[in-house]
Structure 1
Amino acid sequence: MFNLISKAPSSAKNDILSGLTVALALVPEAVAFAFVAQVDPLVGLYAAFIVGLITSIFGGRPGMISGATGALAVVMVSLVVEHGVEYLFATVLLMGILQVIAGVFKLGKFIRMVPHPVMLGFVNGLAIVIFLAQLGQFKVADSHGELQWMQGSPMYIMLGLVALTMFIIQFLPKLTTAIPSSLAAILVVTGLVIGFDLDTRSVLDYLKDMSGNVDATIAGGFPQFHIPMVPFNWETFTIIFPYALVLAAIGLIESLLTLTLIDEITETRGNSNRECIGQGAANMTCGVFGAMGGCAMIGQSMININSGGRSRLSGITAALLLLGFILFAAGLIEMIPLAALVGVMFMVVLGTFEWSSFRLMNRVPKTDAFVIVLVSGVTVITDLAIAVCVGVIVSALVFAWEHAKHIYTSNYIDDEGSKVYELHGPLFFGSVKNFADLFDVNSDPSDVIIEFKHSRVADHSAIEAIDNLAERYTKAGKKLHLRHLSQDCRDLLEKAKDLVEVNVIEDPKYKVASDKLA
C-alpha cells in the first residue's frame, strides 16, 4: 500500500539528500524528547548530534539513524526531577559503559532469538506510538499556557498541509527519484507557507509553546566537555545504576530490533555486537558533553531508508547538518511548518505499520496472533523494553507448553523379556510431568529399559525426573536400565548413575543446560 523502500540506487547524492531530510525531521523530535525528560532543548539536540554521528561511524548498521528517543526520555524524567540533570549525565555515562560491555561479551546476538510475532508487535506498537506523538503538534498554548486542540481555520490549514505533504511523498517517486520525496515535500510546503503567508505553526511556535518561553530558540554553540558534577562515591552509584541498567537495556533492545527490521527491509545484515559498542561509545560521549543520550530511532531510520540513504554517509550527514542548524541556521529551521514534518512522520507510520499482520491473524496460530496484539498494546501503554520482554516470555511459555505435549513412548517386550520404553520427544522442565505419567511402575515386569536414543535431555529438571523415576523402580524392587544417555547427563545423575548402560560409540554428545555444569 505505502512504499517503504526507495527505488533510487545507493549513491553519495542520495545519502547526502537523505541525511538532510533526516536532520530536518530530527529537530522537533529531539526538542520534544528533551521536554519529556525535563531538560533544556539543546541537551536533546546535542544528544541527537553526538549519538547520530558516533553510531553512524562506528555502529553496526549503515543507514540506521540514532538520537534522543522517547523510550529513554520517559525513564530519565524521574531521575532528573528527583536528583537533577547532573545525575542524568552520570547515568548516561554509566549506561554507555554497560552497553559497551554487552557488545564486548557479544550479547547482541541474543536479539536474533526474538520471535517474529514479537517483531510484528514491536513494529506495530512503535508505529502507533509515533502516530500518537504527532497529535501533540495539533495543540497550541492558550493564555494560561495550557495546551489546547486547534480550532477553526488553523486546524483546517494544518490538516491541508499535512495532506499535501503526504501526497507529495507518496506520488513524487512515480515521477522522479532525483530528490527524496520527503525532502521535496518539506521544501514545497515551506515555500507555500512563506509565499502565501499562511497562518500555521512552525518549529519555533512549537518550541515556544512547549517551553513557555517567548525567547526560546534552538540556536547554540558546540557541545562543551563537561564531567558530571556529582560525588563519585558508592551512594551516587546506587542512585544511578538502576536507571543506567534500565536505560541500557531499553536502548539496546530498541536499537537491535530496529537493526533487525532494517536488515529485513534492505536484505542486508548488520552487526548487532558492533552496534552495542557503537551505542555505548556514543552514550559515554553524551555523558561527558552534557547530552541526554539516545538509541536508534525507528521513525528517522525509516525516513532515511525511504529517502535512499543506505550507507554510513547518510547518518553522518544528518548529524553534521543538525549541528550546523544549531550553530548557523537556527532561524531557517525554526521557520519550517510543523505540518510538513507531521506529514513526513505520518507517512513513516503508514510505511512502518505491518498492515499484512491483519491478514495473518486468521492464518497464524491464535497464540502468535495474541502475542502480536499483546506486544503492540504493551508498547503503547508502557515502553518497548517491557513489551519485548513480555512478548518473549509469553512466546517461550507457549513453546514450552506445546512441546511438553510432544513426549511419548513406544513400548514393547524384547527377546529377553524386558519391557522397553522407547522415549520420543524433548525432556525438559515443561514435559517432566508428562514423562512421569508414561511409566506404570507397579505393573511393569522386574526388568525395565528406558531407551533415550530418540529423546533429548534438555535441563536439570529432566535429570531430576530421571532420578526420581529410577528411585520409584528401585523401591518397587525392579531393575531399571537407562540406555543412550549422554556423558553430561550421566555426570549429573545422582540416584540413577549406576543404572546407565554406557555405549561409547552410540551414546550422544550434547550439553545439558544446568548450573551444575557451569
Structure 2
Amino acid sequence: MFNINVAKAGNLKNDILSGLTVALALVPEAVAFAFVAGVKPLVGLYAAFMVGLITSIFGGRPGMISGATGAMAVVMVSLVAIYGVEYLFATVVLTGLLQILAGIFRLGKFIRLVPHPVMLGFVNGLAIVIFLAQLGQFKVTNELGELEWMQGSQLYIMSGLILLTMVIIHFLPKLTKAVPSSLVAIVVVTVLVQSLELDTRTVVDFVRDMTNDPLASIAGGLPQFSIPMVPLTLDTLKIIFPFAIVLAAIGLIESLLTLTLIDELTGTRGRGNKECIAQGAANTVTGFFGGMGGCAMIGQSMINVNSGGRGRASGITAALALLAFIMFASNWIEIIPLAALVGVMFIVVIGTFEWSSFRILNKVPKSDAFVIVLVSGVTVATDLAIAVVVGVIVSALVFAWEHAKHVSVKRVSDEKGSTVYEVNGPLFFGSVSSFLEQFNIKDDSDDVIIEFKNSRVVDHSAIEAIDTLAERFINQGKTIHLKHLSQECKLLLEKAGDLVEVNVIEDPDYHIVSDKLA
C-alpha cells in the first residue's frame, strides 16, 4: 500500500537519534495546537511530553508517536472559550477513562471494519492537512500586529532553506544511514542560519506570534499535579461528558488508524486494545498535570519511522528530550529555523500521500474511488473522526446496495408435485424487498417448500420477511415447509415457527443480528 522504503528492524542508537529528531518537530506542533485550543503553549508542550511518554511505555504500537493533536484541539476550543481551562482538564481526565473502558471492552478490534478506500482517503487527507498547516509558517506579523504572507528576500530565504532541508533528507541516506537524515538537516540548516545571520523565522518567533507576546518562550519546569478546579456536580458532568465522548472517539480513531499505517510500513502488527488503554491512561494522567490531552500523531510517527525509530525507546526519547528542551535547553531550541522543521514536514507529506491512488482511480470500482475522494475531502474540511465515520457509512451502504441484488429465488417442482423455492444469496435488510417479490403464491401448489440451504439469514429484517412470507402462504390456504434455517431463526419466527422442518445434521449453525436475543 505504501511505497516508502523503511527498515523493518531498528536498534537503540537509531531509536535515540530518531527520538531527538521527533522532539524537535514536536515543539512547534504542540505550540500551534495549544493556540488552536485557546490555551498556553506549555499546556500543549506538557501534553506532548506526558501523552508521548506514557503511550511509548505502555502502548500497543512501538515506534508510534503521540502528543497534542489538531483533531482534538478543534473540539477543545469552544469548551475552553465558554467554561475555561479547568473544565478542559476535567474533560481530558474523563476522555481518558472512556478510552480505557474502550480498551477493556476490546473495542479496538472494530478498526478492522475500516475499508481500504477509507484508509487511502485517510492518509491522503491527513497529508493535505499537514501540508496546509505548514503554510502558516510563511506568515509574519506586520507593524499592526497582524499576520501577513512573507514577501521579498525573507520569502526567498525561507524557501531556499526548506529546499536545502529536503535535499539533505532525500540524498543523505544514499551516502550514510549512521544518523537520521532529518536530524542532520535540522542541525545543518540551524548552523547555516546562525553563521550567516540570515533573516528567517525561528521557533521563538513562532511562539511569540502565536501568543502575541514579545517575551514568550517555551521555557518551563516540571508539570505539577493538580485536581481540576471544577464543581464535582451532575451539572459539570453534563457539560464535559459530550466533549469527552467526541474527544475519546477522535483520539482512538486517529490512534488506531495511525497504528494500522505503521503496521503497514514496518511489516509488524500492533495491539489495538492495548493502545486504547495506554491512550486512555495517558490522557487521564495528563488532565491531572495541566495538559490538553492528545493521541497518536501521524506526522511525527512518520518522521520516527523514516528516521529508523522502531522500538519504545524512540518515543520515550522524544518525550524526555521534549521535557529537557522545556526545562534546560529552551534557548537552543528556540533558535532552530522554522524552515528546517517545515522541510521535514514536507518530506512527511510526500511520504504519507498515497500517490498511487491517482493511478488506481480509474481501475477500482467507482464507489471506491468516490470514497477515497470523499474521505480525503471531509478530512480536510472537518476532522478525521467525521471523515472516517462518513467513509465507513458510505462504504457500508454501497456494500448493502450491491449485495441486495445478489439474492435470487429459483422455482421448481419436485417428484411429489410440491413447489420448491431455492433461495440463493444473503437475506438482510437490503435484500428483503427483492426476496419477497420473487414468490408467485397464487400459482403454487398446495404444498410449498422453501429451501434456505444456499442462503444466510443475516438480521431481524430477514426474519420479519420470512414471517411475512409464511403469513401470505397461510392466508392462501397453502402448507409450507421452511428448511435449513438456523436455531436462532427458529426461535425468532412467530407466524412460521411451527412450519420449520428440523434436521439436526444438516441445519446450519450461525448467528443473526436481532434485538430480540439481546
**TM-score w.r.t. structure 2 length?**
0.99
Residue 298 of structure 1 aligns to which amino acid in structure 2? Answer: I
Q: Verify: 1:132 aligned to 2:128, yes or no.
A: no
Partner SS, residue 442 of structure 2: coil
Number of the residue aligned with 1:448: 448
1:6 Cα shift?
3.4
2:95 match: secondary structure: helix
Aligned mates of 2:4, 2:213 — CA distance in 1? 38
Query: CA offset at residue 479 of structure 1?
Result: 1.1
- Judge conservation of contact 2:8–2:266 (CA < 8 Å) in 1: no
- Name the structure 2 match of 1:316: 316
How far apart, CA to CA, are the structure 2 residues paired with 1:454 and 1:112?
Answer: 27
Please tell me the residue identity of whatever aligns with 2:10: S
Residue 501 of structure 1: SS of its match in structure 2?
A: coil
Residue 76 (structure 2) aligns with? 76
| Per-residue Cα deviation, 1:258-284 (whole angstroms, up to 9, x for no partner) | 000100111100000000000000000
* Corresponding residue of 2:327: 327
Structure 2 matches for 1:494-509, cutoff 5 A?
494-509=494-509
Cross-structure match for 1:386:
386
Residues in 1 aligned to 2:513 and 2:287: alpha-carbon distance in whole angstroms: 39
The aligned counterpart of 2:13 is 13
For residue 143 of structure 1, report the CA deviation from its aligned partner.
1.5
The alpha-carbon deviation at position 500 of structure 1 amounts to: 0.7
Q: CA-to-partner distance for each residue in 1:19-42, whole Å, 9 max, x for gaps?
A: 000000000000000000010000
| Residue equivalent to 1:97 | 97
In 2, are the aligned partners of 1:3 and 1:170 still within 8 Å (CA)?
no
Q: Provide, for residues 179-219 of structure 1, a one-character-per-residue CA deviation record: whole Å limited to 9, x for no partner.
A: 10100110111111011111100001111111110100000
**Distance in 1 between the 2:173 and 2:374 partners?**
36
Quote the Cα distance in structure 2 between the aligned partners of 1:89 and 1:9: 38
Structure 2 alignment gaps of length 5 or more: none
Aligned partners of 1:447 and 1:479 also within 8 Å: yes
Partner of 2:409, secondary structure, is strand
Question: Per-residue deviation at 1:410?
Answer: 2.3
Q: Residues 32-111 of structure 1: matches in 2 within 5 Å? A: 32-111=32-111
Counterpart check, 1:30 vs 2:30: yes
- CA–CA distance in 2 between the matches of 1:356 and 1:6? 18
Code of the residue aligned with 2:507 in structure 1: it is: D
Structure 1, residues 221-275: CA drift from partner, whole Å, max 9, x if none?
Answer: 0000010000011000000000000000000000000000100111100000000
The answer (yes or no) to whether the contact 2:2–2:264 under 8 Å persists in 1 is: no
Structure-to-structure mapping, 1:452-463, within 5 angstroms: 452-463=452-463
Tell me which amino acid in the other structure corresponds to 1:301: S
Question: Offset at 1:2?
Answer: 10
Instruction: Give deviations 1:20-70, integer Å, cap 9, x for gaps.
Output: 000000000000000000100000000000000000000000000000000
Amino acid aligned to 2:470:
A
C-alpha distance in structure 2 between counterparts of 1:344 and 1:93, whole Å:
33
Letter in 2 for 1:337: P
Which amino acid counterpart does residue 206 of structure 2 have in structure 1? Y
- 2: distance between equivalents of 1:2 and 1:204? 35
**Is residue 426 from structure 1 mapped to residue 426 from structure 2 by the alignment?**
yes
How many angstroms does 1:142 deviate by? 1.0
Structure 2: distance between partners of 1:76 and 1:346? 27
Residue 289 of structure 1: aligned partner? 289
Distance between the aligned counterparts of 2:235 and 2:256, measured in 1? 32
Alpha-carbon distance in structure 2 between the residues aligned to 1:122 and 1:367: 16
Give the CA deviation at 1:8.
8.5
The residue aligned with 1:222 is: 222
CA distance in 1 between counterparts of 2:2 and 2:177 reads 16
Q: Give the Cα–Cα distance (whole angstroms) in 2 for the partners of residues 295 and 144 of structure 1.
A: 36
Counterpart of 2:443 in 1: which secondary structure? Answer: coil
Is this contact kept in 2: 1:221–1:326, CA < 8 A? yes
Corresponding residue SS for 1:433: helix
Matched with 2:376 is 376
Q: Give the secondary-structure state (helix, strand or coil) at the position aligned to 1:125.
A: helix
Q: Over residues 448-497 of structure 1, what are the superposed CA-to-partner deviations in whole Å (9 max), with x where a residue is unaligned?
A: 11000110000000000000001111111111110111111000000000
Please give the secondary structure, in 2, of the residue aligned with 1:19. helix
- Cα 1:326/1:249, change in 2 over 3 Å: same
Count of paired positions? 518
Matched AA of 1:499: L
Cross-structure match for 1:471:
471
Residues in 2 aligned to 1:386 and 1:334: alpha-carbon distance in whole angstroms? 35
Given that residues 8 and 177 in structure 1 are in contact (C-alpha distance below 8 angstroms), is that contact kept between their aligned partners in structure 2?
Answer: no
Indicate conservation of the 8 Å contact 1:36/1:77, yes or no.
yes
CA distance in 2, matches of 1:146, 1:269: 47
CA–CA separation in structure 1 for the residues paired with 2:481 and 2:8: 67
Offset at residue 4 of structure 1 (A) = 3.2
For 1:404, the aligned partner's letter is: A
1:424 counterpart SS class: strand
Aligned 8 A contact 1:2 1:350 in 2: no
Contact 2:47–2:286 under 8 Å retained in 1: yes
Report what 2:245 is aligned to. 245
Distance in 2 separating the partners of 1:494 and 1:142: 76
Gaps of 5+ in 1: none
Structure 1 residue 3: deviation in Å?
6.9
**Which letter maps to 1:413?**
S
How many angstroms apart in 1 are the aligned matches of 2:407 and 2:488?
21
Quick check: 2:6–2:265 contact (8 Å CA) kept in 1?
no
Cross-structure match for 1:411: 411
Quick one: distance in 2 between partners of 1:251 and 1:8? 27
Which residue of 1 is the match for residue 160 of structure 2?
160
> Which deviates further from its counterpart, 407-416 or 194-203?
407-416
Amino acid at match of 2:74: V
Report deviation, 1:7. 4.1
TM-score (structure 1 length as normaliser): 0.99
The CA distance in 2 between the partners of 1:175 and 1:432, in whole Å, is 64
